[in-house]
Amino acid sequence: MKKLIITTLVMAFTVSWVQAQENIATLRGDTSLNQQGTPPVMPKVDNEDIKRKRNYPMQPPTIPHKIDNYQVDLKTNKCLSCHSRKLTEESRAPMISVTHYMDREGNFLADVSPRRYFCSQCHVIQTDAKPLVGNEFIDIDDLLNIEQSQ
Amino acid sequence: MKRLKTIIKFYWSVIRRPSVHYSLGFLTMGGFIMGIIFWGGFNTALEFTNTEEFCTSCHEMRENVYAELQHTIHFTNRSGVRAKCSDCHVPHDWTDKIARKMQASKEVWGKVFGTINTREKFEAKRRELAEREWARLKANDSLECRNCHNFEFMDFTRQSKRASEQHSTALANDEKTCIDCHKGIAHQLPDMTGVEGW
């Protein structure tokens, strides 16, 4: 009797596991394990140099140009060679915001705060790739308009 | 001193004396052919020191600068053109090339005495080495860049807005040269504190 229960349980588990496996969406897609799938075409980076709208006030602005091989490490920061306070006059690039010169207590520092040094932690490039999942984000202004009209 | 004088006197008289056994034709033709062989051999040897294999036969180059170059567009790109070490670091003109090759004897010294034979030593020297190359390219108006990238052939409409703005102003009126902005395009940058424009 005990044996029968265990066997049934194990079989039930196996069946549900196999079914679950089929439903899992992976980057691999339908390609079987011993096959090499065709990778999707690499999307192009938007290099238009046109400032984009921010979706909410605190959003880190996205980068409107290529940043291939930009060196940002202990030795130097390529981004700051245009966007730092001292160099924006010549480069005419937007200066990194004042918050980048503040430590976490809100004290102003002479140079970029170490915690804000690695630009691409927050600021990213944009590509022409199609989004993999849908997005239902609504701009706060639109949301208020909808509420007011109701 | 007296001995040296007699030796020089002896060879001088040998050179001045007309040939007794060899014909004028043999001497001129022989000289001509030997000239070709020597000159060809010299240039072939010189060309060999300009190859990627030669540069990367030393671990100092292979594991530092060559490894860094491999991530950049000058190593691999859509059209399959590669700028190898000597394309940027050795002038194409013969006199300039010989001058650079003579300077390179210092690099042989460095190799023998292991000036940059570890990663740490190389990193410590990186700024000095980089500055030397920046100064050289600044002095010759980025000649090695311009061997491939000709300003006259640039199509600003195919460049990004930022690029065309800079190229049509600062570069066009000779205010700046390539290396002023395009530092660290093929190798990692050293600590840039105090470098103009950084």
User: May I ask the CATH class of domain B40-181?
Assistant: mainly alpha
* CB nearest A75 (choices: B185, B189, B197): B189
Instruction: Give the lowest-confidence range in A20-24, A146-150, B101-105.
Output: A20-24
> Mind listing the domains of chain A with CATH numbers?
43-129 (1.10.1130.10)
Mean pLDDT of chain B: 92
pLDDT digits (tens, 9 = 90+) for A98-135: 999 999 999 999 999 999 999 999 999 999 998 888 89
Distance to chain A for B84, nearest Cα, Å: 18
Residue A23 has pLDDT above 70, yes or no: no
% of chain A with per-residue pLDDT over 70: 90
Q: The whole model's pTM is what?
A: 0.78
What pLDDT, on a 0 to 100 scale, did the predictor assign at position A30?
78
Q: Domain boundaries in chain B?
A: 40-181
Distance to chain B for A57, nearest Cα, Å: 26
Instruction: Give mean pLDDT, residues A35-43.
Output: 86
Instruction: Give mean pLDDT, residues A61-83.
Output: 93
Which residues of A are less than 8 Å from B191 in CB distance?
75-76
CA angle B3, B21, B33 (to 5 degrees): 90
Distance CA B124, CA B190 (A): 9
CA contacts within 13 A on the Cβ side of A109: 16
pLDDT digits (tens, 9 = 90+) for A40-60: 889 999 998 899 999 999 999
HEC secondary structure over chain A: CHHHHHHHHHHHHHHHHHHHHHHCCCCCCCCCCCCCCCCCCCCCECCCCCCCCCCCCCCCCCECCCCCCCCECCCCECCHHHHCHHHHHHHCCCCCCHHHHECCCCCECCCCCHHHCCHHHCCCECECCCCCCCCCCCCHHHHHHHHHHC
Q: Whose structure tokens read 């060879």?
A: B11
Distance CA B25, CA A93 (A): 73
Q: Do B197 and A87 touch (CB under 8 A)?
A: yes
CA angle B176, B178, B179 (to 5 degrees): 95
Q: Do A68 and B161 touch (CB under 8 A)?
A: no
Distance to chain A for B179, nearest Cα, Å: 14
Residue A136 has pLDDT above 60, yes or no: yes
Which residues in chain B show pLDDT less than 70?
A: none
